[in-house]
Amino acid sequence: MRDLIRYIKSFTKKQERVEDTVETEEDNLEFSSGVMKISWEASTGDFVVDFDISDAEDESSHTLALLLYYLEKGELNRYILKSLKYRSKDLENEFYAKVLLNWTTLDNVDMESESEEPIVSPSQVFSLKR
């Protein structure tokens, strides 16, 4: 009986690995020019941005440059958030909501620092006398 239970557990784990592999292969087959991956470590705040580039032609470099530009400008936020929401839906806690809350908090801190008085007045920079 124990052997049967072990076999079933082993078979189930193998099936999960096969499904994960198939899903990963499908993702890679859909887009073949390259992959940009961001990995992070929560306890230290360290992160790594990694690229796997399969297509080094001019068209690929132009497309990647455009994606990086839109990423910098925030134009890809809704796509990134949609993906995050989809991938985090099976988590036990409200991970997606926490990410949004923390992101909003960071954005508000950024806005507060911009509203402060300048360190140097224009008259000091341009030697203006009244």
| pLDDT for the residue 93 | 74
Could you tell me if 97 and 85 are in contact, meaning their C-beta atoms sit under 8 angstroms apart?
no
DSSP H stretches of helix in 74-119: 77-87, 95-114
Query: What pLDDT score was predicted for residue 23?
Result: 56
Mean pLDDT by runs of 10 across the 130 residues of the chain is: 62 60 57 92 94 94 95 92 91 86 82 60 61
72: how many CB neighbours lie within 10 A of its CB? Answer: 9
Measured torsion, CA atoms of residues 53, 60, 37, 110, in degrees rounded to the nearest 10: 140
**What pTM did the predictor assign?**
0.56
